[in-house]
Amino acid sequence: MHTGGYADGYGDGYAVRAEGLEKWYGEKRALDGFDLAVRAGTVHGLLGPNGAGKTTAVRILSTLIRVDGGRATVAGLDVAKNPRGVRGRIGLTGQYAAVDEVLTGRQNLELFGRLFHLGGRRAAHRATELLAQFDLVDAADQGVGKYSGGMRRRLDLAASMILTPDVLFLDEPTTGLDPRGRGEVWDTIRDLVASGTTVLLTTQYLDEADKLASHITVIDQGRAIADDTPDGLKNTVGGDRIEVVVTEAADIPRAVEAVARVSDGEPGTDETERRVHAPVADRVAALTEVARTLQDEGVAVEDIGLRRPSLDDVFLTLTGHRTEAKA
């Protein structure tokens, strides 16, 4: 049961707030007036290229390093003035699992419970609860060295939930996992949020942020350069697009003419892929009209469809390059 939340000082609905955060490492400025607002009970994605300041921001918010300027609150508590109080309200999972591979899953969780001063009996009880919550009961008494990547990551998440934190920081939690392992971690994160935990997720996997986060902040060169819902961010780079791939390159001009009749802009072409594309306002009407026109003119089509901008398109538009990791 969560003891934090609105009753303890963040009745504005935000579990994490940062205003003008600055951090220097020698002459290098890692954060340059970074702002962030994370609504309670949600997954908030923090996206950015390597070196953008994601991990630095998480380390400041989780009290691991001191901020050089600005102000931040987590669960209603000032990070600089009350770091001990903040630590009692948060969980943190880094890029790599912190569990001991020699110990069993149960022993790992009991160890973490004792480190958090729960005492032997309470630590054992909490370990049993978490093993059930994270679907690890069958593997509870196996050595962690025998766990799959997804199981190990779930155990790591379970360890970060020993004290049932109000806010959980996840710093690239699925790095190195296969698709099945990533899916297992995603399901676990959704369950945590459903139970009331607020999650700040840093990731370079854009599909991960798209599927999990209700709100996303894009950071680059230590500053927040965009902040919106996933759909809102996609809308910044344009609406829906129609795409047609013709079977024969000689039919590209006729496909361009058909698409131009329904588009809101001049169609673009990729002759190598025999692809014609353009933005459209009325999705269904445009698709129907183009398909009918091409059929009437006897143009053989390999593929036709509607496409929304992706977060990768957003990232490219905002930062000038795509992410280092794509899935």
What domains are defined for the chain? Answer: 6-234 (3.40.50.300), 240-307 (3.30.70.100)
Q: Sign of the CA dihedral 137, 138, 144, 147?
A: negative
pLDDT per residue rounded down to tens, the chain (327 residues): 343 443 344 567 899 999 999 999 999 999 999 999 999 999 999 998 888 899 999 999 999 999 999 999 999 999 999 999 999 899 888 766 678 889 999 999 999 999 888 889 999 999 999 999 888 999 999 999 999 888 888 898 888 888 888 999 998 888 777 788 788 888 888 988 998 899 999 987 888 899 999 999 999 999 999 999 998 888 877 678 889 999 999 999 999 999 999 987 788 888 899 999 888 888 889 999 999 999 999 999 999 998 887 788 788 778 765 555 543
Closest CA to 310 of 221, 208, 214: 208
pTM of the model: 0.76
User: Exposed/middle/buried for 291, CB within 10 Å: 0-12, 13-18, 19+?
Assistant: middle
Nearest 5°: the CA angle 87, 202, 312 is 165
Asked if 15 and 73 count as a contact pair (C-beta separation under 8 A), the reply is no
Output the six-digit token pair for 67.
């901020």
Q: What is the pLDDT of residue 192?
A: 86
CA 271/CA 100 separation, integer angstroms: 54
What is the 3-state composition of the chain as percent helix, strand, coil, each rounded to the nearest 5?
35, 25, 35
